[in-house]
Structure 1
Amino acid sequence: MSVDAAAAAGAGPVIAQDVDDEPMAPNQRDPQARAGLMIAALCAAYTLFHLVVMVLYPLETWTYRMMHLCGGLIIGYLTYSALTQSDDAADPTSSRRGPMEIALLLAAAAGVIYGLAVVAYAWGAWWLAGVAMPPAFGFSTYGLPLALGTTAAIVAGWIWSPRDRARVYPGDLLLCLASIAVLGYILFVVGALRMRAGTALAQPGDLWAAVTGVLLILELTRRLTGLALVVIVGVFIAYSFLGPWLPGFLNHRGYTATRFFTYIFTDQGVLGDPIAVSSTYIILFIVFAAFLQASKVGDYFVNFAFACAGQARGGPAKVAVFASGLMGMINGTSAGNVVSTGSLTIPLMKRVGYSAKSSAAIEATASSGGQILPPIMGAGAFIMAEVTGIPYTDIVVAAIIPALLYFVSVYFMVDLQALKLDMKGLPRSELPRFDVLIKQVYLFLPIIILIYTLFAGYSVIRAGAMGMAAAAVVSWLTPYKMGPRQIFKALDMGARMSIQMVAVCAAAGVIVGVIALTGVGARFSSLLLTIADQNQYLAMFFAMCISIILGMGMPTTAAYAVAAAVVAPGLIALGVPVLVAHFFVFYYAVMSAITPPVALAAYAGAALSGSDPMKTSVEAFKLGLAAFIVPFMFFGAHELLMQGEPLDIVHATATALLGMFLLSAGVIGYYFGHASLLVRLVLVGAALSMISVGWITDLIGLACAVALFLWQRRVVTAATLTHGKTD
């Protein structure tokens, strides 16, 4: 519905339109006409394949995960270029290739096509003649040309990829063929590969298929997320070979290339837990988000939030807290959510008086918080359930109070900052009408049905499928009815939105495989135990730092997967319950997105607001400070994870909420009036006292809060403290 149509219908101005549309990445292609339709059909088929397998026709595990990975690689190379693209018209001279480029592309084509031809011959001989074993010469010689051809195609893309969004570079088509060759080889030998991968029995063909697969994964990860994750993966790969020369707990005996790469490309590495979750829960809920987007339900969420809070002081910031948190929970990526919803909320926050730095920081903090907001938690809940074996519903229930504390803290900070700067909200005449939007509250039904089915005992996959169906049905009550064209668009969008997760989870799988192969996780646990002999909280602080460092520059999914493999076992060895240990590392992996110096979500917000990226990340760190304290709170008081007696849970929650308010007041510098530096320090001390669960510390914090209130309201002054109050 257009703005004019909405106004004519009596709904008032529409603030949000297409707010959750995925923005075009700098290196993303946009082929038109027949090429664009073919890629869209491929994307829709990729999504539909997952839905059919998950709901109707299960496949063997390795087969399904490899097809998930290969399909993601093909779509990724078709839709993302190696270089930044331009929106300008195509340069006619860009199609002219020099002799160096032609030579490199011919070499790449020769290697890739030879490797693919050998694999295709093996499958053809099996299907047509029943020959189960191809000639030994083929599988012993196909791999090196395939790996070299893939490398040549990658290098050609780095140098000569065209800047025209409408064109797909030939080198990227070769990378698609290389992905098919890797898939074909592994599926052909999958039975034997399960037994021999990572051992002395591994064949040369196994090695080269794995090497080519890792190259393809790392290059696509670079295109989608930048160099940070690729560098981290490279460091872990180098560690596998340099172990004999490293000191202390990092030392290990080292591995041959064949053993290392064939082990990495098993369900202990690339095909392990991250890809298992990516190929099921993550893609399911990304497609659910795509259905919400195609049916314009996401726009309704944001408009509803503006109708509720837009007129309050600092209204757009409060809308950002709620709307970005909700959308971030669904779409599973902090930086991506900042770019989509922030394009609306950041300019409006600046309009009512927030600085560019604060506007970007608020959006980044709220979007990052969506990753810890149940029931979806940006797919984190599903990964945690897969890794720990703890039922999904238990994880979601445990996440409720920590998420409440985080968002309440951010809300307090936003509200107190608006009070401090005497901000107003948006005029009611510019906001959607609440009385009209409340009549469309049924648009929340997909979320409600999803939550109900999850807690009613349905499987996660069935619940997600029912949520998608609900989004399509509900759309028929709006101007955006989902017919075949819109469903096709949702399936297409679901595939495109999931590609980053596929690449990231595969790259994270390499790191997880290195940790499992080298045993560095167990040695890290021993190190934590040694530190804990001196002070357990010091060990927890050390674990926090490692989780944040491992997560810097990485999307949430990969950050948690790596932290869960490295840090969580050490915490469990300290005697920390499994659920608490994983929540501890999960929170810090998520908050690495707003932690300087590498804060992806804050940097994305800074790009939209025009603020300094580093100053924005520091501001976001301040606003999200609660998330850095909450894990220590539930480490000391498991009641905050819904574990314990109901009265104890209520007590812990109430005092923690008051502690969040005092912390927010101390950080912002406003407590029933402008607060001096001394008052702010006392407020932070009182907050920490309230946060530490215990009657004595609670009474100390409460006494400080009351005393500071009286001081701020001038009921108590320096004179009355010195001489006593007189009439």
Structure 2
Amino acid sequence: MNHTPENRPGNEEPVAAASESVADGADDEVVESNRRLYGGWRWLLFAGLAIAYCVFHLVTLNMFPMETWSFRIIHIAGALILGFGFYAGARFADQPGAPAGRVLTSLGYVLLVPAGYALVRTVMMYQEMQAGAMRIAPEVETWHFGYPLILATAGAIVLSWGLREARHRINPADLVLMVCALAVAGYLLVIFNSPLRASTGTSFAPVGLTWAGIAGSLLILELTRRVAGLALVIISAIFLTYVFAGPYLPGFLGYPGLSVGRFFSQVYTDTGILGPTTAVSSTYIILFIIFAAFLQASKVGEYFINFAFAAAGRARGGPAKVAIFASGLMGMINGTSAGNVVSTGSLTIPLMKKVGYPGRSAGAIEAAASTGGQIMPPIMGAGAFIMAEVTGIPYTEIAVAALIPAILYFLSVYCMVDFEAARKGMRGMPKEEIPKFRRLVKHVYLFAPIIILIAALFMGYSVIRAGTLATASAAVVSWFSPNKMGLLAILRALHLAGTMAIQIIAVCACAGLIVGVIAMTGVGARFSSLLLGLAGVSQLLALFFAMCISILLGMGMPTTAAYAVAASVVAPGLIEIGIQPLVAHFFVFYFAVVSAITPPVALASYAAAGISGDNAMGTSVASFKVGLAAFIVPFMFFYSPAMLMEGSWMQILRVGVTATLGIVLLAATVQAWFFGPVKAWQRLVMLVGALCMIYGGIYTDVVGLAIGAVLFMMQRGRHGGGGQPVSAG
């Protein structure tokens, strides 16, 4: 909290301070428990590397394009180097320097020798190729590059698990991993910029590609463990095991098999790690992370939250409604449900508890709202860009198609919140505790970067050009606000973007590893045949099975990785049973997203429970209930493609209106409150009416509307539009 003259302790007008802002600190950087905090020359070094990394992408994307594979290799290598520099492999030591620690440190320095040797040999191989050599001798690649590289990589990874240093220092094991990342990238650049590039995945491929592929995969898995936890690493390990165990498996999972050389010589190509996920992370995602960092540096995020408080803070259950608006908006930009819960939930959850929400409800609402940000156009937490890359459908078409489902989801969460507040007799925040709307309206120009982004996209600018314009406008707009961005502020924003990007790039690269397994083993096609068989029995059964697989694949994984994997495994099967590609991909995308609030592994709910102080499993069940619409809306895509703007305007309008009314009835069913308390039999009838309208058929719509009208008149007649709260909250 910044102690400005208005909010400094002891000031005579604390109320005035409260009315200016309730979101101080909302744009502060979240520092993870295993993140290093440097000082002095170390801070200058790594800050410089992060800034250079972001500038490299901005310049390459906008002015001096590079060859695609080379660009993606450098993109991943830069993230690995920054990642091992910023994130430790084990907890930090309170008192480093114990005898055991000194031994491990010494071993780390020893491993620098083979790592450095592999890097030197990479330079020598480059010189040989430049001198006219057609290929490098296999024994040289194996003994002088492969073995030292694998020894250093595997040894340093294991060593880093036990090496505990002070938070302000980097340990030698991580230095080794940074050198190994350079060696892998250097070798791949040498080979992929020669005729040998065409040999990947064949028996003619240089053996060094296999060693580089193995080492690169290990580095990506280890960095993913550090920044995203074990869930994605375990799933990747299962897929990698399948590559070599598949030939021995029975039934539809069996396949002829791949050799170690053939698989790993091809995994670091656009079939796998350098494929669609890295294509998106190296272009759209890095660009929008820089955009988000500029918004954060100019305090636009705080303004969004303050604006939400001013608009909805005084309504019943005000902070919960603020959470829906603010978390949805910020979650759309930052692309991670759990990360958004931590940043905005630290503000909204305590305020929700203050006005009467139990800790469990407060955490559930924040988790559901932050998760919803991933489905909100135009950015959709980077999911829209991956979908465009995978399907070939224009980005603007995807953003437009996402509009009605996103409105339905947030309307559902809003109604859940409003009905619970009414049922418990909650009030909003006191007028004195929320920002003054008339003062915030004067700064409404701070929405300009978002408006410019949307306008540029729909005017036909490329996503990269639109994102760059929006980023530049964030810096320009800041000059009209109290938080002007000068050169130092811009450099700080680039530094922040470089560190923010590490997690999502590691996750995308790891997802690329899984996508490579799916592509090379054909397991996706086998799932497609399974879905086709189920569809012969019932299409609804096939959709239910696809939902379960999408949620299962997404559990514990960030949105981008969850969707990328589900799109490779499940979506082709849905397309094969006759579902339109856009509908199929939106179906798996939604369930990959809501895996963040689906028990038993619900990352967003667990993060919210950590802030609210409630039971994690209880919070995940409550967030599942609050976000229930997200589990129904994807089935609406199948039965009513007009929900995704597929059809005439009359069809789209009818489906949109009736689905909206159905969602309101569904929320009333869950919360047992409409205009007043709802009896058990009325809830059952209400559920039938809600499902009829959500289904989208003409006759079902008529039935649903009739049920809704009868219940409306009964409730209005009995409660007169008000109703007494069941409890005082």
Letter in 2 for 1:526: S
Please give the alpha-carbon distance, in whole angstroms, between the structure 1 residues aligned to 2:543 and 2:96.
59
Is this contact kept in 2: 1:10–1:436, CA < 8 A? no
1:93 is paired with a residue of what secondary structure?
A: coil
Letter in 2 for 1:149: A
Partner of 2:394: 391
Letter in 2 for 1:47: C
What is the deviation of 1:643? 1.4
Please give the alpha-carbon distance, in whole angstroms, between the structure 1 residues aligned to 2:26 and 2:254.
50
Is this contact kept in 2: 1:401–1:641, CA < 8 A? yes
Please give the alpha-carbon distance, in whole angstroms, between the structure 1 residues aligned to 2:330 and 2:680.
36
Letter in 1 for 2:623: A
Alignment equivalent of 1:269, drawn from 245, 249, 272: 272
1:12 is paired with a residue of what secondary structure?
A: helix
Is this contact kept in 1: 2:327–2:366, CA < 8 A? yes
What is the deviation of 1:356? 0.5
Partner of 1:83: 90
Partner of 1:466: 469
Partner of 1:722: none
Q: Which moved more, 1:349-358 or 1:131-140?
A: 131-140
Instruction: Give the direction of change, closer, same or farther, for the CA distance of 1:193–1:635 in structure 2 (3 Å limit).
Output: farther
Query: Where do residues 245-644 of structure 1 align in structure 2 (5 Å cutoff)?
Result: 245-644=248-647
Is this contact kept in 2: 1:330–1:376, CA < 8 A? yes
Partner of 1:61: 68
1:27 is paired with a residue of what secondary structure?
A: coil
Please give the alpha-carbon distance, in whole angstroms, between the structure 1 residues aligned to 2:189 and 2:412.
50
Alignment equivalent of 1:694, drawn from 694, 697, 701: 697
Structure 1 unmatched runs, 5+: 717-727
Partner of 2:97: 93
Letter in 1 for 2:272: G
Letter in 2 for 1:372: I
What is the deviation of 1:197? 1.3
Is this contact kept in 2: 1:194–1:266, CA < 8 A? no
Instruction: State the Cα deviation string for residues 541-561 of structure 1 (Å, max 9, x = none).
Output: 110110000000100000000
What is the deviation of 1:131? 6.7
Aligned residues: 710
1:481 is paired with a residue of what secondary structure?
A: coil
Please give the alpha-carbon distance, in whole angstroms, between the structure 2 residues aligned to 1:5 and 1:456.
43
Partner of 2:178: 176
What is the deviation of 1:2? 5.5
Query: Where do residues 113-132 of structure 1 align in structure 2 (5 Å cutoff)?
Result: 113-123=116-126
Please give the alpha-carbon distance, in whole angstroms, between the structure 2 residues aligned to 1:197 and 1:533.
39
What is the deviation of 1:150? 0.8
In the alignment, is residue 167 of structure 1 matched against residue 174 of structure 2?
no
CA RMSD of aligned residues (A): 1.8
Instruction: State the Cα deviation string for residues 224-283 of structure 1 (Å, max 9, x = none).
Output: 111100000000000010111111110011111111111211100000000000000000
1:153 is paired with a residue of what secondary structure?
A: helix
What is the deviation of 1:488? 0.3
Please give the alpha-carbon distance, in whole angstroms, between the structure 1 residues aligned to 2:28 and 2:277.
26
What is the deviation of 1:648? 1.2
Alignment equivalent of 1:233, drawn from 236, 244, 268: 236
Partner of 1:140: 142
Instruction: State the Cα deviation string for residues 39-90 of structure 1 (Å, max 9, x = none).
Output: 001000000000000000000011000000000000000000011336xxx6
Please give the alpha-carbon distance, in whole angstroms, between the structure 2 residues aligned to 1:72 and 1:116.
18
1:189 is paired with a residue of what secondary structure?
A: helix
Partner of 1:17: 24
Alignment equivalent of 1:41, drawn from 44, 48, 54: 48
Is this contact kept in 2: 1:655–1:693, CA < 8 A? yes
Instruction: Give the direction of change, closer, same or farther, for the CA distance of 1:386–1:244 in structure 2 (3 Å limit).
Output: same
Is this contact kept in 1: 2:377–2:402, CA < 8 A? yes
What is the deviation of 1:633? 0.6
Structure 2 unmatched runs, 5+: 8-12, 720-729
Partner of 1:654: 657
What is the deviation of 1:693? 1.0
Please give the alpha-carbon distance, in whole angstroms, between the structure 1 residues aligned to 2:178 and 2:123.
15
2:402 is paired with a residue of what secondary structure?
A: helix
Letter in 1 for 2:372: G
Instruction: Give the direction of change, closer, same or farther, for the CA distance of 1:202–1:611 in structure 2 (3 Å limit).
Output: same
Is this contact kept in 2: 1:270–1:506, CA < 8 A? yes
Is this contact kept in 2: 1:273–1:387, CA < 8 A? yes
Please give the alpha-carbon distance, in whole angstroms, between the structure 2 residues aligned to 1:133 and 1:568.
40
Is this contact kept in 2: 1:406–1:627, CA < 8 A? yes
Letter in 2 for 1:57: F
Please give the alpha-carbon distance, in whole angstroms, between the structure 2 residues aligned to 1:98 and 1:293.
40
Is this contact kept in 1: 2:109–2:173, CA < 8 A? no
1:30 is paired with a residue of what secondary structure?
A: coil
Normalized against structure 2, the TM-score is what?
0.95
Q: Which moved more, 1:57-66 or 1:638-647?
A: 638-647
Is this contact kept in 1: 2:105–2:163, CA < 8 A? no
Instruction: State the Cα deviation string for residues 190-222 of structure 1 (Å, max 9, x = none).
Output: 134431111111222111111000000000000
Partner of 2:727: none
Is this contact kept in 2: 1:3–1:13, CA < 8 A? no
Normalized against structure 1, the TM-score is what?
0.95
Instruction: State the Cα deviation string for residues 379-411 of structure 1 (Å, max 9, x = none).
Output: 111100000000011000000000000000000
Q: Which moved more, 1:444-453 or 1:669-678?
A: 669-678
Is this contact kept in 1: 2:318–2:429, CA < 8 A? yes
Alignment equivalent of 2:187, drawn from 185, 188, 202: 185
What is the deviation of 1:457? 0.3
Letter in 2 for 1:64: F
Instruction: State the Cα deviation string for residues 552-599 of structure 1 (Å, max 9, x = none).
Output: 010000000000000000000011111110000000000000000000
Partner of 2:10: none
Please give the alpha-carbon distance, in whole angstroms, between the structure 2 residues aligned to 1:121 and 1:296.
49
What is the deviation of 1:136? 5.8
Is this contact kept in 2: 1:186–1:193, CA < 8 A? no
What is the deviation of 1:116? 1.1
Instruction: State the Cα deviation string for residues 345-368 of structure 1 (Å, max 9, x = none).
Output: 000000000010111110010000
Q: Which moved more, 1:113-122 or 1:341-350?
A: 113-122
Is this contact kept in 2: 1:547–1:589, CA < 8 A? yes
What is the deviation of 1:103? 6.0
What is the deviation of 1:681? 2.1
Instruction: State the Cα deviation string for residues 477-533 of structure 1 (Å, max 9, x = none).
Output: 111111110000111111111111111011100110011111111111111111001
Please give the alpha-carbon distance, in whole angstroms, between the structure 1 residues aligned to 2:446 and 2:717.
49
Please give the alpha-carbon distance, in whole angstroms, between the structure 1 residues aligned to 2:549 and 2:138.
47
Query: Where do residues 95-114 of structure 1 align in structure 2 (5 Å cutoff)?
Result: 97-99=101-103, 101=104, 104-114=107-117
Instruction: Give the direction of change, closer, same or farther, for the CA distance of 1:510–1:10 in structure 2 (3 Å limit).
Output: closer
2:579 is paired with a residue of what secondary structure?
A: coil
What is the deviation of 1:137? 4.8
Partner of 1:723: none
Q: Which moved more, 1:387-396 or 1:681-690?
A: 681-690
Please give the alpha-carbon distance, in whole angstroms, between the structure 2 residues aligned to 1:343 and 1:3.
21
Partner of 1:678: 681
